[in-house]
Structure 1
Amino acid sequence: MWESEEMTYINQHVLNNLFYILVSIFFFYFLYDHVRFFQQKKAHQHVLLIACLSVPLILCMKYPIYIAPDCVHDLRQVPFLIGTFYGGWAVSVPLLLILLVARFMMYGYEFITVAVYVMMCLCGSLFSLFFQQLTRKQRLVASAAMTFLLAIAATVLAVAISDFQVTESYVVDFILVPPVAMLFIVFIIETLREALFIRSKAIKLEKMEVVSQLAASISHEIRNPLTVVKGFMQLMKAKDISAETKEQYMNIALEELNRACMIIDDYLTFAKPFPEKIETLHVERELEKVIDMLRPFANMYGVQIVATLMPATMEGNAQYFRQCFLNIIKNGIEATTNGGKVYVDAHADGKTVTIVVRDEGEGMTKEQLARFGEPYFSTKEKGTGLGAMVSIRIIEMMNGTWRIQSEKGRGTTMTVSFSLLEK
């Protein structure tokens, strides 16, 4: 009965010490991941590491492990050695001072404590230079092995300078338990470091993939009109060509050059930052300007634009706002067959102004809908998909939200919402 109660009592205190250390490690990586200040310089990381590890260092001494009547132990050397291995001199020396001051304030001065932890600080800091060059698996083994060797060295030092008794409980709890605890803690640390590294690498790869896609798309889309221009310029060099034919070739070449300029403008709009000029926009007036610009284009396609615009105000950039809905309504017109309609509806509801553009076109499949806004994708034969991509970019830069619904043969509905500017 006594043995089972004693074993439960021991496990509780061991787990408490491990809990203090684990929470401090998780808290360190939480702050490191979310606060950019700690990512800027190595010195900032050292300060954070000292602050996080000093807490379990003190708590382990304040709430020790009662192993047996002749043995009161704690795991203070584990956070101390973790800081020493990963931070070197810059972390080990401040942690040593914190440990000694806290130890003397709680239990009084003992020379053996100073000697043991100064020895650990010196050896651990020198070992840190080698430790930080190891691989993940090597660090697990090296940390446990070094902790075990330092425990042996501390025991020899204690026996040499004082009348120190080495008992069986001391061997288990001062020499064998810390290396196991160190192995467990270092495994957690390396797993967290690896997770952060993989995530950072994935973000960089994703950015590089976007850049490569844009570069490939630019070269592909610009090459086509330039090839056309080059061909007609070569044809115009012929001596027997008539003036009428030469003018026709010239017009086609100019159209292709204008098309190339539009593609470049779309890419620049997508890439450049949102302008600082923010103004009050009257949504109905801006949409009326866009619709007036597109009416001749709609008449050419035999499409009617039906607008229902309620007064509403918002903050944004007028030029970008008009360009966004110019692309969206133009796409609706091009998707609608002769005799169809494109509906533009704007209304204010609560704190939101909502703009809905609905066409009676052929619509999109679920697969096409999932690719909406990609630079390569377009349902039009000569489309680049840049118009939709730029529109989405502008909506997001103006802190708006968008939703698209479409069904094959039933048309497409684009719903865009912005924050309403209350008078």
Structure 2
Amino acid sequence: MGTYINQNLLNNLFYILTSMFVYYFIYDHRKWWKTNSRHQQWFLIVCTAIPMLLCMKFPIYIADNCVHDLRQIPFLIGTLYGGWTVGSALLILLLAVRFLFYGFQPITVAVYITMLIIAAFASPFFRRMNRTNKLVTSVWLTFFLAVLVTIIAVVFFDFQVIDSYIVDFIFIPPFAMLFVVYIIETLKDAIIMRSKLVKVEKMEIVSQLAASISHEVRNPLTVVKGFLQLMKSQTIPKETQERYMHIALEEIDRAETIISDYLTFAKPTPKKEEPLLVEQELERVTHLLQPFARMNGVHLVEKCQPCSIIGNAEYFRQCFLNLLKNSIEATPRGGTVTISCSCKGEEVVVTIADTGIGMTVDQISRFGEPYFSTKEKGTGLGAMVAVKLIETMNGTWKIDSEIKKGTTITITFPSAKTRG
């Protein structure tokens, strides 16, 4: 076996495989090659010509009177994947180098012209095959060509066939071809799959944005619906009715703002930071969600001390609208949701506590992930946006929960005095 497989044989394989890795590495990082077939052909010529010439320069010494190499593998690879153009260029280069260094030999011309004609005709069919068929075809085509050109050499050029030649020229090349084609197809599939994955991720982001916008617009629409139901279900003074209408119109304006400005959530940079009176902002949010809480039979309680932070008012309201709405939806009828805020040293602590269904440890760890929700029809996008907005305003959050006993979310912000 050592007679047949030696260092020179392994070196020839190394030249071929390295060139294919280089081809797909550069191909993957140069977009203009992917869209220009002429550039691809020239690059394939270079990446198959180099190992072909290296195989000729460092051949396999089978015996004292028999020298061989694996030049036919890059030659066939280039012809099968590149067709007549690549194959013809490789043939001219091969013959030119062969004649320059070793002189003219008719057997070389006959052997490689035969390989070019058959491989080039097979090329269009080969390129349309799937990976399995390509592997099978490459093995049998290489074996067939090795046998065919050997018969031509013996019949027309009185070539002497020895055992080492049969092993190294007829049996080893098909297996080497199998290995090389498998590597090529695997690299090509990896590039294609990665390209498809990038497209899928982009589509998922678009889908997530669309779902998020829909989810966030639902909040002000829910408030509007609650006020309209209150106005319809009972006789209320005209003054109160006008106040409800004013709030409803404000919420419709807020929905319009969310639609036009929602992409800012993807870039965590607030439009405008200003001192916020936390108790007033939370009172406003609580007031907006009172109709929704009543619809769900939940008591919404506010207990706030005067506190102030530096942040974006729109982001702050959006964040606590999402969190409070989630708590209300997680609380059964007759339950209570309490929102409170207090100043503790240089921090402002906001707490939302409900008497709802609670969360498991796994659910707590996944809180804020897109498309994860404890609700049957929830998307998890409201919590995702809320978490992002908390982090945008330099806040932190923590969840304590127990199944069937309720959940407490604690959000901590730096006070305005600290940031000032």
TM over 0.5: yes
2:250 aligned with 1:255: yes
Distance apart, 1:186 and its partner CA? 1.0
Of 303, 308, 321, 1:305 maps to 308
2:111 aligned with 1:116: yes
CA deviations over 1:72-102 (Å, ceiling 9, x no partner): 1100010111111112223222222222222
Distance apart, 1:155 and its partner CA? 1.9
CA contact (8 A) 2:227 2:248 kept: yes
Alpha carbons of structure 1 residues 290 and 174: separation in structure 2 relative to 1, 3 Å: same
Query: Which residue number in structure 2 is paired with residue 291 of structure 1?
Result: 274
Distance apart, 1:367 and its partner CA? 5.5
Question: What secondary structure is seen at the aligned counterpart in 1 of 2:341?
Answer: coil
Question: What secondary structure is seen at the aligned counterpart in 2 of 1:165?
Answer: coil
Query: Which residue number in structure 2 is paired with residue 360 of structure 1?
Result: 349
Whichever residue aligns with residue 386 of structure 1, its letter is: V
After TM superposition, the structure 1 = structure 2 runs for residues 398-417 of structure 1, keeping only pairs within 5 Å, are: 406=398
2:86 aligned with 1:100: no
2:116 aligned with 1:127: no
Query: Which residue number in structure 2 is paired with residue 315 of structure 1?
Result: none
CA deviations over 1:8-30 (Å, ceiling 9, x no partner): 78421111111111111111111
Alpha carbons of structure 1 residues 52 and 274: separation in structure 2 relative to 1, 3 Å: farther
Structure 2 CA distance, aligned partners of 1:24 and 1:403? 53
Alpha carbons of structure 1 residues 14 and 404: separation in structure 2 relative to 1, 3 Å: farther
Structure 1 CA distance, aligned partners of 2:153 and 2:7? 28
Query: Which residue number in structure 2 is paired with residue 81 of structure 1?
Result: 76
Structure 1 CA distance, aligned partners of 2:261 and 2:195? 29
Counting matched residue pairs gives 361
After TM superposition, the structure 1 = structure 2 runs for residues 213-292 of structure 1, keeping only pairs within 5 Å, are: 213-223=208-218, 225-226=220-221, 229=224, 243-270=238-265, 290-292=273-275
Question: What secondary structure is seen at the aligned counterpart in 1 of 2:193?
Answer: helix
After TM superposition, the structure 1 = structure 2 runs for residues 316-331 of structure 1, keeping only pairs within 5 Å, are: 327=315
CA deviations over 1:19-47 (Å, ceiling 9, x no partner): 11111111111112223232232333222
Structure 1 CA distance, aligned partners of 2:398 and 2:152? 78
Structure 1 CA distance, aligned partners of 2:319 and 2:225? 29
Structure 1 CA distance, aligned partners of 2:308 and 2:59? 79
CA deviations over 1:317-360 (Å, ceiling 9, x no partner): xxxxx86x9747995999983322595xxxxxxxxxxxxxx653
Query: Which residue number in structure 1 is paired with residue 293 of structure 2?
Result: none
Whichever residue aligns with residue 215 of structure 1, its letter is: A
Distance apart, 1:118 and its partner CA? 1.9
After TM superposition, the structure 1 = structure 2 runs for residues 60-75 of structure 1, keeping only pairs within 5 Å, are: 60-75=55-70
Structure 2 CA distance, aligned partners of 1:76 and 1:382? 59
Alpha carbons of structure 1 residues 331 and 143: separation in structure 2 relative to 1, 3 Å: same
Structure 1 CA distance, aligned partners of 2:178 and 2:262? 52
Query: Which residue number in structure 2 is paired with residue 338 of structure 1?
Result: 341
Structure 2 CA distance, aligned partners of 1:61 and 1:403? 68
Question: What secondary structure is seen at the aligned counterpart in 1 of 2:67?
Answer: strand
Query: Which residue number in structure 2 is paired with residue 48 of structure 1?
Result: 43
Question: What secondary structure is seen at the aligned counterpart in 2 of 1:88?
Answer: helix
Structure 2 CA distance, aligned partners of 1:36 and 1:405? 44
Listed as ranges, the gaps of 5+ residues in structure 1 are 276-285, 308-321, 344-357, 396-401, 416-423
2:132 aligned with 1:137: yes
Query: Which residue number in structure 2 is paired with residue 17 of structure 1?
Result: 12
Question: What secondary structure is seen at the aligned counterpart in 2 of 1:49?
Answer: helix
Query: Which residue number in structure 2 is paired with residue 171 of structure 1?
Result: 166
Query: Which residue number in structure 2 is paired with residue 386 of structure 1?
Result: 385
Question: What secondary structure is seen at the aligned counterpart in 2 of 1:166?
Answer: coil
Of 192, 196, 201, 2:196 maps to 201
Question: What secondary structure is seen at the aligned counterpart in 1 of 2:340?
Answer: coil
Whichever residue aligns with residue 192 of structure 2, its letter is: F
Structure 1 CA distance, aligned partners of 2:132 and 2:381? 54
Identity %: 46
Distance apart, 1:217 and its partner CA? 2.9
Moved more, 368-377 or 103-112: 368-377
Alpha carbons of structure 1 residues 131 and 405: separation in structure 2 relative to 1, 3 Å: same
Whichever residue aligns with residue 136 of structure 1, its letter is: R
CA contact (8 A) 1:225 1:259 kept: yes
Whichever residue aligns with residue 39 of structure 1, its letter is: K
Moved more, 88-97 or 214-223: 214-223
- What RMSD over aligned residues (CA atoms) do the two structures have, in Å? 4.4
Alpha carbons of structure 1 residues 303 and 382: separation in structure 2 relative to 1, 3 Å: farther
Structure 1 CA distance, aligned partners of 2:195 and 2:137? 27
Alpha carbons of structure 1 residues 18 and 44: separation in structure 2 relative to 1, 3 Å: same
Question: What secondary structure is seen at the aligned counterpart in 2 of 1:337?
Answer: strand
CA contact (8 A) 1:49 1:91 kept: yes
Structure 2 CA distance, aligned partners of 1:274 and 1:383? 16
Distance apart, 1:126 and its partner CA? 1.2
Distance apart, 1:375 and its partner CA? 8.0
CA contact (8 A) 2:82 2:123 kept: yes
Structure 2 CA distance, aligned partners of 1:326 and 1:232? 21
Alpha carbons of structure 1 residues 375 and 184: separation in structure 2 relative to 1, 3 Å: closer
Structure 2 CA distance, aligned partners of 1:111 and 1:183? 29
Question: What secondary structure is seen at the aligned counterpart in 2 of 1:339?
Answer: strand
CA contact (8 A) 1:28 1:52 kept: yes
Give the TM-score normalised by structure 1. Answer: 0.69
